[in-house]
Structure 1
Amino acid sequence: MRWAPAVVIPAAIAAAAIVTPLAAGAADLPVKSPADVLRLVAASDTRSFSGTVEQSSELGLPSLPSTSSGSQDASAADMLELALADHTAKVWVDGPTQVRVQVLDRLAERDAIRNGSDLWLYQSSGKKVSHATLPAHDEAAPTPDATSLTPSQLAKRFLDAVDPTTSVTLGDSVSVAGRDAYDLVLTPKADETLVGHVSIAVDGKTGIPLKVAITARGASAPAFEAGFTQFSDQKPDDSVFSFTPPKGATVDEQKLPTGGKPAHATGTHPRPTVTGEGWATVVALPAGSAPAAVADDPLFAQLTQPVDGGRALSSSLISVLITSDGRVLAGSVPVSALQAAANAAGQ
């Protein structure tokens, strides 16, 4: 929870009740309703694909430092930069157990690879390599975190939580990476949320989400988007999932207990409370959830501002409040809504 600001799209966001009639498709796409397009996504059986993804972010947050004073700060800054900054990544997928995401940095690269039971994380800068071995044939084991950059994973966060707090419509059909796609638009009904609408371009042939764009309330351009600029539904060559640490690299072997969970995940964690509903949901962790040392961290100070009752991160899509007693509240709502929730819980 120390780096809760890295969560760009909260899991609490809900998506979708069908409210519109049939919408016309493009010349090369059959006419479908919003419900038809949702079923197209759900029924997609394309297990193999590859392509190039571009991510862009305009959340109104301060620029992250290029270097940090300590290893923890550097790790946190790396996570935030991966989630919030602009990136180009190459993606290869062949079923749930063969995944590779290659993030292309300036004169460097970062790779997250799952090849069967092997998990690899590699940063060419400094030649840093981490490796873990998963139980054999465990498709439920986690794939590399960097796959959250793909439009499919981003879209899943919205489409997995279908409820009546959102209207779903179809915009004009679009072309993404040279492929005809339906434009599935999710619009919150609640006025309390920061999110104006979410646009998901769904490939008319495979049902795979090709692009996700999230626009803040009252804005004309997306605050965050990730989409394919090149896409192929052909099976990638097996060689792209093979990884051998480069000469001179230091390999950090990670121990994973049964079930594929990291060793540090076996402890006791604070239980969150949830208030509100749908897009206006606020998730809160109890007092003491944020370590006292956070207040002295330079990165924390750079990303947050003092407010009544604590410090807050405020972006165009999500807010995070850390109170003076160490509670953590987050949601796609203004900071004032988090303050109100914190005050109500303290009464």
Structure 2
Amino acid sequence: MKRAWMRWLPAALVPVAFTAAALAGSYQAGAATSLPHKSPADVIAMMGHANVQALSGTLQQTSDLGLPSLPTTGPAATQGPASTLELLTGSHTARVYMDGPSKARFQVMDLLAERDLVRNGNDVWLYNSADNSAAHVTLPARQSAERTLPSAPATPGMTTPEALAQRFLAAVEPSTDVTVGDGTMVAGRTAYPLVIAPKSNGTLVESVTIAVDSATGLPLSVDVRARGQAASAFSLAFTEVNLSAPDVGLFAFTPPPGAAVEQKSLPAVPAQKAMPMVPGASGKALPVHPTITGSGWDAVMAFPAGAMPSQARTAPLLSQLTQAVPGGRALTTSLVTVLMLDDGRVFAGMVPLERLQAVAAAK
């Protein structure tokens, strides 16, 4: 990884609009332990210079977002939009294996099924045992060559503490207090708790705690707490981790007999990340440019009409998870709020609904 830590601190809002599933995770901390003193800058620098090239372990995710319960068994629980949203409720376990820049395996363990993502070089397989279906994707050469551990393709709704920590480090700015707590134990390893706390009272986020391995700088857990909520809203933690190379056979995948296999291909990734596209007046696709109102933790992202697919807006599951509000529907959780207006515009942020409505009314 060996990235300068300042590259993790852009003056931009964490893209919360449609990435609630990436904010999942449990801060499985043990008893306090004595460690040499380090400042917040020291701990962030440790993360930036971390060079873990291989690992295997078990991740425990818990979430308490205030969302209604979704099916946890049967095909409906592990297919379509319900698959990702179900991972935002309750507790989930995953096995993760990584070796170098292009080998990764995630196994999300469901009650009566398993979801797998396996990457081996340019080849990526996704498998769902609930309906014995598989998808094969060939990564573009540029994407395959440039991705480095642990940025291999992530299982939908499941990510690593390191990837999640990067998202919150991007929000560190003058509007944030950053401190280091007493040393702790996570997955049997000593760690420095880096505590990120917004200064503003206008955000739903109370604090984010990242447990950073004292030996390697690898984030071992992320705990996200919401204002006025005793339990963690999201947490993701290693309950066990081994920093040696996994067995190479774990990265080989062959679809089981009778599996329905879908072949997919991805276009080459351009030098700059492309923006989402919406139809223009001429019928041609135009890039979506979200606008940002405010800054830091209070910021609100606004997407123009057409940015959210119509099939997503009319999905029955969306009606189950949202509430009717004047002029549209709203998804309200303990950490993220999304306002979907009848005119097609979408507003999102780590702020209360009233803040989104005020921004929408002013545009």
Same fold, TM-score > 0.5, yes or no? yes
Aligned partner (choices 112, 133, 136) of residue 131 of structure 1: 136
C-alpha distance in 2 between matches for 1:106 and 1:298: 24
C-alpha distance in 2 between matches for 1:172 and 1:241: 38
Please name the residue that 2:212 is paired with.
202
Aligned partner (choices 50, 54, 73) of residue 48 of structure 1: 54
Deviation (angstroms), 1:7: 2.0
The yes-or-no answer on 1:145 pairing with 2:163 is no
Please name the residue that 1:16 is paired with.
none
SS at match of 2:162: helix
In structure 2, give the amino acid aligned to 1:91: V
SS at match of 1:149: coil
Deviation (angstroms), 1:161: 4.0
Please name the residue that 1:33 is paired with.
39
In structure 2, give the amino acid aligned to 1:201: A
C-alpha distance in 2 between matches for 1:109 and 1:66: 12
C-alpha distance in 2 between matches for 1:308 and 1:35: 45
Does the CA-based 8 Å contact 2:222-2:237 persist in structure 1? yes
The yes-or-no answer on 1:64 pairing with 2:70 is yes
The yes-or-no answer on 1:117 pairing with 2:127 is no
**CA shift in 2, pair 1:139/1:304, >3 Å:** same
Does the CA-based 8 Å contact 1:68-1:74 persist in structure 2? no
Q: CA RMSD in A?
A: 2.9
Deviation (angstroms), 1:132: 1.2
Please name the residue that 1:274 is paired with.
292
Deviation (angstroms), 1:259: 2.7
Does the CA-based 8 Å contact 1:9-1:318 persist in structure 2? no
Please name the residue that 1:19 is paired with.
none
TM-score under structure 1 normalisation?
A: 0.86
Deviation (angstroms), 1:284: 0.7
SS at match of 1:162: coil
Does the CA-based 8 Å contact 1:196-1:219 persist in structure 2? no
Please name the residue that 1:300 is paired with.
318
Please name the residue that 2:336 is paired with.
318
Please name the residue that 1:186 is paired with.
196
In structure 2, give the amino acid aligned to 1:336: E
**CA shift in 2, pair 1:336/1:188, >3 Å:** same
Aligned partner (choices 254, 274, 288) of residue 264 of structure 2: 254
C-alpha distance in 2 between matches for 1:224 and 1:178: 21
Listed one character per residue, the Cα deviations across residues 10-46 of structure 1 (whole Å, up to 9, x for unaligned) are 7xxxxxxxxxxxxxx943x322111110111111011
How many residue pairs get matched? Answer: 326
SS at match of 1:78: helix
In structure 2, give the amino acid aligned to 1:7: A
Structure 1 unpaired stretches of 5+: 11-24
Listed one character per residue, the Cα deviations across residues 165-213 of structure 1 (whole Å, up to 9, x for unaligned) are 1110111211001111001100001111000000111010111110100
SS at match of 1:257: coil
The yes-or-no answer on 1:226 pairing with 2:236 is yes
Deviation (angstroms), 1:107: 2.4
Does the CA-based 8 Å contact 1:280-1:332 persist in structure 2? yes
Does the CA-based 8 Å contact 2:69-2:89 persist in structure 1? no
Please name the residue that 1:78 is paired with.
83
Seq. identity, % = 48
SS at match of 1:86: strand
**CA shift in 2, pair 1:6/1:164, >3 Å:** closer
Deviation (angstroms), 1:307: 1.2
Deviation (angstroms), 1:70: 9.6
Mean Cα deviation higher: 134-143 or 325-334: 134-143
**CA shift in 2, pair 1:32/1:317, >3 Å:** same
Please name the residue that 1:90 is paired with.
95
C-alpha distance in 2 between matches for 1:271 and 1:235: 42
In structure 2, give the amino acid aligned to 1:174: T
C-alpha distance in 1 between matches for 2:235 and 2:347: 25
Please name the residue that 1:342 is paired with.
360
Structure 2 unpaired stretches of 5+: 1-15, 24-31, 278-284
In structure 1, give the amino acid aligned to 2:154: D
